[in-house]
Amino acid sequence: MKHRILIVEDNPPNRELLADWLDAEGFEAAMATNLAEAFAALEEGNIHAVLLDVQLGAEDGLAVAARIRGDSALRDLPLIAVTAHAMVTDHERVLRAGCNACISKPIDFRSLREELERWLDQPAYVPPVPT
């Protein structure tokens, strides 16, 4: 079974790059361009991890983190921020918001793979099956 990773990214080239990389690495990609689409994808279920752009146009991507961590069915869902904000204080803010990890853009795909493997190997989270 392939792990299904939700990409929450408003920039089309970045979204496609992540989707192509996930596909090449043996994952299945689901995509969302804004908060509404991200929440809808999470409601559908069968998401094993989220790659989250912190700045979605005028929307704060960390709202996804708050929703996930506040939902008892999703609270252990691996959440990895992928952000252009590279300062240490930015990474600390992202982790305080509930993300498991933070990867800076441009993306170091080796680090991203390591984080995905690390968090997908955690036995705590079982994705809800779509109804």
CATH, residue 85: 3.40.50.2300
Give the pLDDT confidence score for residue 119 in this predicted structure: 93
Give residue 57's pLDDT. 80
Report yes or no on 20 lying in a domain: yes
Q: Is residue 93 part of a domain?
A: yes
- pLDDT of the residue at 127: 63
Residue carrying structure tokens 């990867």: 103
Establish if 127 belongs to a structural domain: no
User: What is the pTM for the complete model shown?
Assistant: 0.90
Domain count, the chain: 1
> Coil, helix or strand for 56?
strand
Q: How confident is the model at residue 91, as a pLDDT?
A: 82
The residue assigned the tokens 């099956």 is 129
Give the domain range for residue 78.
Answer: 4-120
**Quick check: is 126 in a domain?**
no
Q: Which residues of the chain have pLDDT under 70?
A: 85-86, 123-131
**Strand pairing report for 101-104 and 4-8:** unpaired
91 within domain boundaries: yes
pLDDT attached to residue 125: 60
Rg (CA), the chain: 13
